Amino acid sequence: MGLPPVSLRSTKKRRAREILARLWQLYPDATCSLDYQTPVQLLVATILSAQCTDERVNRVTPALFARFPDAAALAAADISELEFLIRSTGFYHNKAKNIQGACQRLVVHHGGQVPQTMAELLGLPGVARKTANVVLAHAFGIHAGVTVDTHVKRLSNRLGLVKSEDPVQIERVLMGLLPQPEWENWSIRLIYHGRAVCGARKPNCGVCALADLCPAAVSV
């Protein structure tokens, strides 16, 4: 006898995996929306994406990477020029300081290359788990955790899979619900869904393919 259909009464793990399967169908080609050519460039772009849209970052990085294409160039950059190039991403003083500090550490301790472990990435200025997860997954195919941005936090709560505003706690719960090879696929596709359907102010539950699995949709 087979399992009953997945519904709101199903376990969180069954619902999470059914949601992931539907997200795969909805967004089969979803990938990181930041433009980059090297792991260093992905690291820098991800730092820039904090409290800034990926679209804005992608408008800034062509000129930035043309001028400073690698860790050595960024480590030696004039900080005022670096700030000027990234100004429109917001918080540019701190971002420029972190980018340069991270690249200086890459040059001194890692031969100018991005390390491939969570611990080493977290030792870089401006890098927390969100940035480290993005870089490991998309630059190296390493699934060390679940990337938790504002979309993932919002939708994971709305879907009733977590009940927390703490990204670290949310990540820990999601890691227990999803197969490790799918950790970044969950994040990327949930981000796409958050942009396309489940907005922060006005979720479009009437057209949402996840509505029958979402306790928030029932109450709308």
pLDDT (0 to 100) of residue 219: 60
Q: How do the domains of the chain map onto residue ranges?
A: 12-30+146-218, 39-140
Q: Which residues contact 12 (CB under 8 A, 6 or more apart)?
A: 160, 161, 177
CB 192 within 8 A of CB 180: no
Q: Looking at residue 1, what is its pLDDT?
A: 47
Q: State the Cα–Cα distance between residues 115 and 109, nearest whole angstrom.
A: 9
12-30+146-218, CATH topology level: Endonuclease Iii, domain 2 (1.10.1670)
| Average of per-residue pLDDT across 70-89 | 98
| Average pLDDT of the chain, as a whole number | 95
pTM: predicted TM-score of the whole model, two decimal places? 0.93
104-145 per-position pLDDT tens digit: 999 999 999 999 999 999 999 999 999 999 999 999 999 999
Catalytic residues: 130, 149
Q: Quick: pLDDT tens for 3-14.
A: 678 988 889 999
Q: What mean pLDDT comes out for the span 186-211?
A: 95
| Measured distance CA(211)–CA(158) in Å, rounded | 10
Which CATH fold would you assign to the domain 39-140? Endonuclease III; domain 1 (1.10.340)
What confidence tier does 148 reach under pLDDT thresholds 50, 70, 90?
Answer: very high
Whole-number pLDDT of residue 9 = 85
